[in-house]
Chains A and B, each alone.
Chain A
């Protein structure tokens, strides 16, 4: 079974949790094991929305995740970094340096295009300028990911 990491940023935008659960469901159906790293609030939002772990069964503290990747104690086949601010770009770039995973940037929020233009390293970009409605970003994800379904 291959595996994937979701690296969640600040959960201020409701799009993040919705897209994380949507993507986790799709990957699970493709037998891809998903681990989610994020802030305490971002993880809490997921756990409240998915109390029985139907979509996300493994979560990890953001700092522990970075430490394990930097120390080469863990790695993933796929990594999806959620980007809606400058800190998201920093985390994405860090993942590019410390992980061998195929990297995806899910860029959203009001400055999505500006942040996407800062990504100048190898990475699949999924970009849509939205903060509240997850549907356009979901459509972009469906265009990029080759679902078996």
Chain B
């Protein structure tokens, strides 16, 4: 998942759990989408427990990013193409 780490991102939650990420997205973003684990976004495959929630805020996507030793982070990254795919219900 090196690509994500080289992108400009904001960490919303760190060292958190998949459950807290899900609840945060549901509570804080009006627009969100439910995807299955393994959903491809940017060039990564999302790790998580279903339902994995991806929030949309303006041109940004908010999504969980899991690292084996550090748990799950909730990240915000600009992703207009990813938002378009989510809205169309495309599985990339």
Contacts and interface: CB of A to CB of B under 8 A. Distances in A.
Interface string B1-45: 110000000000000011000000000000000001110100011
Interface string B59-74: 0000010111111100
A45 to B, nearest CB: 13
A89 B69 CA distance: 12
A118 B70 CA distance: 19
Contact of B50 (A12, A66, A93): A93
B72 A86 contact: yes
A90 B45 contact: no
Nearest to B20: A86
Given A86-B18, A89-B18, A69 B71 contact: no
A39 B69 contact: yes
A42 B47 CA distance: 19
A137 to B, nearest CB: 19
Interface residues of A, number: 25
A89 B71 CA distance: 10
A67 B38 CA distance: 8
A116 to B, nearest CB: 14
Q: Is the interface of A mostly helix, strand, loop or mixed?
A: helix
A90 B38 contact: no
B38 A69 contact: yes
B50 A97 contact: yes
Interface string A26-37: 000000000000
A98 B38 contact: yes
A39 B68 CA distance: 7
A101 interface: no
B36 A97 contact: yes
Nearest to A91: B47
Interface of B: 1-2, 17-18, 36-38, 40, 44-50, 64, 66-72
Interface of A: 9-10, 12, 38-39, 42, 62-63, 66-67, 69-70, 85-91, 93-94, 96-98, 118
